[in-house]
Structure 1
Amino acid sequence: MTAVWKTTAALTTETAPFAIRAERASDVVVREALLDASFGEGRHARTCQRLRDGRAPAEGLAFSAVHEGRVVGTVRLWHVSAGGIPALVLGPLAVDASCRKLGVGAALMTHALAAAKARGHGAVILRGDAGYYARFGFSAEKTGELALPGPFERDRLLAVELRDGALNDAFGMIVATGMKARRARIRTGGKARKLLIQAA
């Protein structure tokens, strides 16, 4: 039987030393630095990046974790077609190394899944460690007939249904379907550079 993700109690500011909020345009530069530190500059060549290139995250589904006034965690969800079935892809999820013992990653996951369910989405797919993501209901049970646009490890392609049966007929390639991202100039260190502004 497929596990359907169920909402759990989210951490509050009274119990956690950080807050989760909607990503802001001002978070983008810090977010990019956090992702580089977490995954290295080669992160742009990863298979799942093909599902995000040139796209904006799903509306209302990009979040930042803030600790002592600075962004220390990030997660986004993106529209995809899972063999013709609308779904979301989650990632990347990253947490600043200095805050990894605070539960930021788990809180971001719980918050993102609850927000996706509240917006009526049926399923979330990701590529990651089954041992870590199983606690959120993810498994490879419904991804056996799906493929990513590039090399991937079959046992790391995971999904969770937010609505029972949402991925029952999922078969074929996972492809990006989200809105195109808009480009804007961001000033950093006195120099202007182009970044994709993808805040929801």
Structure 2
Amino acid sequence: MIRNSIRSYSAKAIPYLSSTPNKFNSARSTWNLKPALPQGLVHNPPASVPNASKTPKAFLPTQDPRSTRLSHKSYTREQVDDMPVVYASSANPDYSVTPEIVSEIQSLRDSNPQEWTVNKLARKFQVSPAFVKVTTSINQVRKETLAQQEEAQKQQWPLQKQKARIDRKRRVELWLRNEF
């Protein structure tokens, strides 16, 4: 008897929910711990219906007829040679940097770090900026001036930002000691 009543129930009369109500998407409040669900039968379909033809080959049984249809196309060497290059590879990198060039980079960087920046040295000697950073170290005078500039900027921060930074440092220390 119940089965007949379900069959005769019109599909248009079944309420539809586009998403399941929860405590975060409720209309009343974000802290609604018990959302009001509609009474009775609710049509809430899955996100997508599984399709047997889209099943990956790895999940198919060995005797499945779909596994032969999903074979990969192979190309001959001539076909590959005729295809356009999508990602052109650069020429072999030049590792011909001599110790004299490295010492010149270091001397220029130490003499005037304001003028001879990492990028400027990399362009002049045609090396990467990472190479310049590895071969040279920052000048101590320059390091101290940068630290003073940073401290001057920190002194101009609002009190709330200073407190936030102190709290962040304290939280990191607590995390490192597993005391959070």
State the TM-score bracket (shorter-chain normalisation). under 0.3
Q: Which has the higher helix share?
A: 2
Q: Which has the higher strand share?
A: 1
User: Whose radius of gyration is greater, 1 or 2?
Assistant: 2
Larger RCO (CA under 8 A, 6+ residues apart): 1
Length-normalised TM-score, structure 1: 0.18
Length-normalised TM-score, structure 2: 0.19
